[in-house]
Amino acid sequence: MSIIDVDTPEQARELDEDTFYACLTQRNRGLIDPQQQARIAATRLLVAGCGSIGGATVAPLGRMGYRHFTLADVGTYELNNLNRQNATVDDLGRNKAEAGARTLRGVNPHVDVRVVPDGVTAANARELVEAADVVVDGVDVTTGSGLAAKVRLHEEACRQRKPLVTGWDMAGMLAAQVFDYRLVRRVFDGQLVPGDEERLSTWEVVFRIAPRGYIPAEMFRELRQGLSRPDYSVPQLAEAATQFGSLAVHMVNVLVSGRRLPRTVAVDVHHLSMTRRHRLVDDLARQLERARFLAQLPRGHAWRGFAPAPVYRAGRRLSGGTREKWEEKTA
C-alpha cells in the first residue's frame, strides 16, 4: 500500500481504517517486519491498572500499532499523581482507564478499547483475562484492595496460562518483569503460596512479590525511615515510572513474536548517570542499606518478606500452613 502524506486532523479522520493504520505504523518499517506488525494489530491487550506504571504503557502501545485494548482501573486522578502519571490538571477526578481510552482514541480513532472502571475484581478477573492475549499488570500495591487485585490477576493469568508483564518503580529504578504463565506454573513463580495474601501483612506480601534483588540503596533508606509511620506513602518519581512504557512495549512485542525474555529487566537511571567511582560507592551503599533495613524489621517480618522462595515454601510446609505456627517458628 502506498503511503500518503497526512498533516491535518481532518485528513487523518477521513482515512479508512486500513489506510490510517498503514500511515500510523509506516515509521516502524525496517525494524518491525510485516508479519510482526500483523501480529501486533491482532493482539488483544489487558492493561490492569492505568496509573503510574500501567498508564505509562497505554499511549506507547497504541503508537506501536496495538489496536485491541481492555483498560481496567477503579481509581481517579488526584493532584499528587501528576508528578509521574500521564495526566494533566484537566484530568483530575476522571477515571484513569477512561482517560487512557481517550488518549488511545486520540492516537488512533479506529482503536477498539473497552473501559472497566471497576478495576480487577473477584467477579470479573476471569473474564478480563480470557479476553486478552497478553496482560500488562500496573495494579497499585499501596493499598490492601489493590494488592488483593494484583494477586487475583496473577492467579487468573496463571490458571489460564497467559503471559503477563509488570513493573516496579523504586526511586530511579524501574524493574520490568515477565511472568510468562504459559511456561511458569506457580503464581509469582512460587514467591507466594496459596492464602498468603490473607496470612501475611501487606508489606510482607509486597516484599515477597517485588524484585527484592533490585531495590536501590536510596529506596531501602527511605523505607527504613518511613515504614514505621502509619500514614506513610511510598514516593515515586517520573524518571522511573515512565520508563515502563518503553520497556513494556518491547517486552510485549517479544512475547507476541513467540520469543522468550529474561524474568527481570532493570534500569536505574540514578545509578547509570553516576560516575564510575560513585557507582561503586552506590553498590556498597545498597548492601549496607539493605542490611540496616532488615536489621530494623522484626525477625519474623524480615523472614517472611525476604526469605528465598524455596526456603520460604519449605518453611510454610513445616509450619502446617497456619499463621500461628508460622509466626511462632519465625518470631
Per-residue pLDDT of the chain (331 residues; tens, 9 = 90+): 566 788 899 999 999 999 999 999 999 999 999 999 999 999 999 999 999 999 999 999 999 999 999 999 999 999 999 999 999 999 999 999 999 999 999 999 999 999 999 999 999 999 999 999 999 999 999 888 899 999 999 999 999 999 999 999 999 999 999 999 999 999 999 999 888 888 898 899 999 999 999 999 999 999 999 988 888 889 999 999 999 999 999 999 999 999 999 999 999 999 999 999 999 999 999 999 999 999 999 999 999 999 999 999 898 888 765 554 444 444 4
In the prediction, which pLDDT does 321 show?
54
pLDDT of residue 231: 83
Alpha-carbon gap, residue 166 to 220, rounded angstroms: 21
Query: What does DSSP assign to residue 183?
Result: T
What span, in angstroms and rounded, lies between the C-alpha atoms of 288 and 39?
46
pLDDT score for 328 = 45
In 138-173, which positions are buried (b, 16+ CB within 10 angstroms) versus exposed (e)? bbbbeeeebbbbbbbbbbbbbeeebbbbbbbbbbbb
Does the pTM surpass 0.85? The reply is yes
N-to-C CA span, the chain: 68
- Under 8 Å CB-to-CB from 59, ≥6 apart: which residues? 86, 103, 104, 107, 245
User: Which amino acid, one-letter code, is at 320?
Assistant: G
Architecture of domain 32-272: 3-Layer(aba) Sandwich (3.40)
Which among 99, 113, 107, 115 has a CA at the least distance from the CA of 21? Answer: 107
Q: Are residues 133 and 45 in contact, defined by beta-carbon separation less than 8 angstroms?
A: yes
pLDDT for residue 326: 44
